Structure 1
Amino acid sequence: MSFNKKTIEDIQVKGKRVLVRCDFNVPMKDGKITDENRLNGALPTIKYLMEKGAKVILCSHLGKAKGPDPSLTLAPVAMRLSELLNKEVVFAADDTVVGDNARKAVSVAKDGDVILLENTRFRKEEGKNEDSFSQDLASIADVYVNDAFGSAHRAHCSTVGVTKFVDTAVCGYLIQKELKFLGEAVQNPTRPFCAILGGAKVVDKIAVIENLLDKVDTLIIGGGMAYTFFKAQGYEIGKSLLDEERLDYAKEMMEKAKTKGVKLLLPVDNRIAPEYADVEAKITEDQNVPEGYMGLDIGPKSEKLFAYAVREAKTVIWNGPMGVAEFKNFAAGTVAVAKAMADSGATTIIGGGDSAAAVNNLGFGDKMTHISTGGGASLEFLEGKELPGIAALNNK
């Protein structure tokens, strides 16, 4: 996949109708937005286009709508954006997304005006990438901008289909930043390059492990995934998470690492409990988990081992917590990795999802070089897959 995509700075936008795909899939409670990170992330692109005299038309999905659903309207987003931009964002309340309200708002818009369309998933065609909706979106736009990295792995009308019907399709600042950091890290990292993978299931990270073993100098595996690797080595794992079908795969990956000269680090001790609950942790002497117990976090010796590997690296990518980080008794491993990355002089990249939430909640967010805005998208990126929403944009 080419990462050398045209950006909003490569094109003229004055007087043009610019359709911007944003990620406004924000958490809501009682019609109020409870986390504004994604709105704030979209502001630089929106402000740039306003200042350059574009007629800015924003679109996004919200939630898992399968057609018009009043509880998933983007109206609260329009209200909050108006406050953040200090300018009215006209909300086009059409269940068809591109209806009479949208067309009228676009036709009377002046340079620098901002319009927000209704939830793109109110149209059933969106998820199927059907031409009818893609053409509707393109009919109110001269230029298309994708700034929703979190949706770039989906081939939907608003991320891919619309690009077939406009001549100019470029990325905004958010996607530009993702391509710079994730793209450079995976394609051309400053070495030593260390990747840290956590999370519960091996199956979720199979392709990531395979792809990264061809690229990294050190691969750290923690979280629930580690117990399948322990079992494959003959250790006792008690009641810990186990993916029986992936035992041979775990052995193959350890062999592959050895053959390629990649340092594959697994935990050397564990924090354990008799049940999946936030109870006081016991710490094992080594990798073995006794019968009747389950591993819920890496232990203190593992924390030191992993922190040392992070300190030695020049580029570090992290995806997935080291334990059940939402339990305070089993968050220490995740905290230790976050702290090691925050204290390191390396380029540090957090691959979205749970790791991003953990790093932000722990207060280390501003110490990282880059926190990806897309969980699923950054995972597919690390798998080496082509992201349809990026591939569809114009190359430089």
Structure 2
Amino acid sequence: MQTLDSLNVSGKRVLVRVDYNVPLKDGVVQDDTRITSSLPTIQALLDGGASVVLMSHLGRPKGGPEAKYSLKPVAEALEKVLKRDVRFIGSLPSSDETLNDVQEMQPGDVALLENVRFEAGEEKNDAALSEKLARLGDAFVLDAFGSAHRAHSSVSGVAAHLPHAGGTLLAAEVVALSKLLHEPERPYVVIIGGAKVSDKLLVIENLLPVVDRMLIGGGMAYTFVKAQGGKIGKSIHEDDFLDKARELLGKYGDKIVLPTDTLAGDSFSAEANTRVVPTADIPDDWEGMDIGPDSQKAFTEALQGAKTVFWNGPMGVFEFAAFASGTNAIAKAVADLGPDTYSVIGGGDSVSAINKSGQADRVSHISTGGGASLELLEGKALPGVEAMK
């Protein structure tokens, strides 16, 4: 992959695809992690004498402008952390008006375009849109790892028309995650959580031959427990994947670690009544909502001595305080492994959990890309990364 070092940006206007798909509430950015993650690339380009034109998507607008998905509040948040003026250009990115505005920019200037998904052709990787976007820069940098698995006009399409390179964030993500696939230091332990086996089946199948242990929690664990003949009450599960779960247990049963006890609730709510029960014997009217205390201890013990760790997905319904204990225990256990362990956190919920736990600065790498992280670990080629070669 070509990196920033391969571009001469002095006096040039550089179009940068960033990932500013951040949470907003009442027009205010609630978490600026993705914004601050883009600063090294922006600063490197400014130091190199460039003007910087940033573009991103936000949310899922329906192919046209929607006020609630405007990036204007993001421009204001960026201005604060970048500590310099950021011009917000509110016209459609492909418009002549936007082109005229960016052509007035001077070295050292920074501008953020309006939501690129307001363009109907963006998600179709429309060739005409890619050409119009390419008019906005003399070179293109992809730094949106969270969107690198999308073959969209602003991600891979525009790269065909301009000299291009991967940004600092994109390069760091690819290097960090590739270490999990290629000759990881052992023991290598993976923790997989979240609601559904179907969402992460490919990454489970791709990593099981590589890892020493795989700890499976969250809602997906109940599909495996039911496949073993366990009683899981009303717990979330996927009957269509029972055969696949049995197949994986039969082939890799010595590596897979499932929770033995569960914190169950009598309803899916923050105020549910709770009780700890065996994972394979959940009462009919109850549902598993978190791994239990014995499982927390077993998972923590299974992590001891690990030299490489990847964690994706919560251990329970951690957005409800009553069911956050398991996820918080894993966050602490991974962080406590210390600097001699290469630890990577991937996926939005896992990142949120590690941030909330206050342990984020004690792990090796926190990935900004949920779907992109998983697809890379599934062994898939990411269109954005391929376009940077």
TM-score normalized by structure 2? 0.95
Report how far residue 182 of structure 1 moved. Answer: 0.8
- The one-character-per-residue Cα deviations of 1:64-95 (angstroms, maximum 9, x if unpaired) are 12212233222222233233223222222212
Select which of 285, 288, 294 maps to 1:292: 285
Return the alpha-carbon distance in structure 1 between the equivalents of residues 251 and 171 of structure 2.
33
Q: Which residue of 2 aligns with 1:270?
A: 262
- The answer for the alignment partner of 2:238 in structure 1 is 243
Q: Which residue of 1 aligns with 2:311?
A: 318
- SS of corresponding position for 2:229: coil
More displaced stretch, 112-121 vs 271-280: 271-280
Single out whichever of 154-163 and 302-311 deviates more from structure 2: 302-311
Q: Structure 1 285/99 Cα, relative in aligned 2: closer, same or farther at 3 Å?
A: closer
Kindly provide the CA deviation profile for residues 27-68 of structure 1, in whole angstroms up to 9, marking residues without a partner as x. Answer: 222222222111111111111111110121111111212212
Give the partner amino acid of 1:379.
Answer: L
1:100: which partner in 2?
96
Q: CA deviation at 1:285?
A: 4.5
Give the match for residue 80 of structure 1: 77
SS in structure 1 at match of 2:351:
helix
Mapping of 1:253-268 within 5 angstroms?
253-258=248-253, 263-268=255-260
User: Does 2:224 correspond to 1:229?
Assistant: yes
Residue 111 (structure 2) pairs with residue 118 (structure 1)? no
Query: Are residue 146 (structure 1) and residue 124 (structure 2) matched?
Result: no
C-alpha separation between the residues in 1 aligned to 2:69 and 2:239? 40
Unpaired runs of 5+ in structure 1?
none
- The within-5 A match list for 1:376-387 is 376-387=371-382
1:131 to 127, 134, 157: 127
Contact 1:281 1:330 in 2 (8 A): no
Paired residue for 1:58?
A: 54
TM-score norm. by structure 1 comes to: 0.93
Aligned AA (1:67): G
Whichever residue aligns with residue 201 of structure 2, its letter is I
| Residues 267 and 273, structure 2, Cα contact 8 Å, conserved in 1 | no
Give the residue type in structure 1 aligned to 2:140.
Y
Q: Aligned-pair distance for 1:286?
A: 5.8
The CA distance in 1 between the partners of 2:21 and 2:81, in whole Å, is 17
Question: Which residue identity does 2:317 align to in structure 1?
Answer: V
1:39 aligned residue (24, 27, 35): 35
Query: Whole-Å Cα distance in 2 between the matches of residues 365 and 101 of structure 1?
Result: 42
Count of paired positions: 385
Residues 267 and 287 in structure 1, CA contact (< 8 A), matched pair in contact too:
no
1:209 pairs, out of 199, 204, 211, with 204
Deviation at 1:317, TM superposition (A): 0.5
Aligned-partner residue type, residue 371 of structure 1: I
CA distance in structure 2 between the aligned counterparts of 1:248 and 1:101, rounded to whole angstroms: 56
Distance 1:257 1:229, change over 3 A: same
Q: Deviations over 1:93-146 (max 9, x none)?
A: 212x13233222332222221122211111101010011110011122221111
Q: Find the aligned partners of 1:314 and 1:137 in 2 and give their Cα distance.
A: 44
Deviation at 1:337, TM superposition (A): 0.8
Deviates more, 1:27-36 or 1:56-65: 27-36
Report the equivalent of 2:301: 308
SS at structure 2 position matched to 1:160: helix
Residue-by-residue CA offset, 1:366-389 (whole Å, 9 max, x unaligned):
111111111111121222211111
**Alignment partners' CA distance in 2, 1:276 and 1:140:** 49
CA separation in 1, counterparts of 2:82 and 2:330? 36
Task: After TM superposition, give the deviation of residue 314 of structure 1 in Å.
Answer: 0.5
Aligned residue among 171, 175, 191 for 2:186: 191
Does 2:324 align with 1:331?
Answer: yes
Alignment RMSD (CA, Å)? 1.5
One-letter amino acid matched to 2:16: V
Q: Write the distance in 1 (CA, Å) between the matches of 2:77 and 2:236.
A: 43
Flag structure 2 segments of 5+ consecutive residues without an equivalent.
Answer: none
Question: Partner letter of residue 326 of structure 2?
Answer: G
Per-residue CA deviations over 1:300-355 (Å, capped at 9, x if unaligned) read: 11111111111221111011111111122211111111110010031111112111
Q: 1-side partners of 2:103 and 2:240: how far apart?
A: 58
**Percent of aligned pairs sharing the same letter:** 48
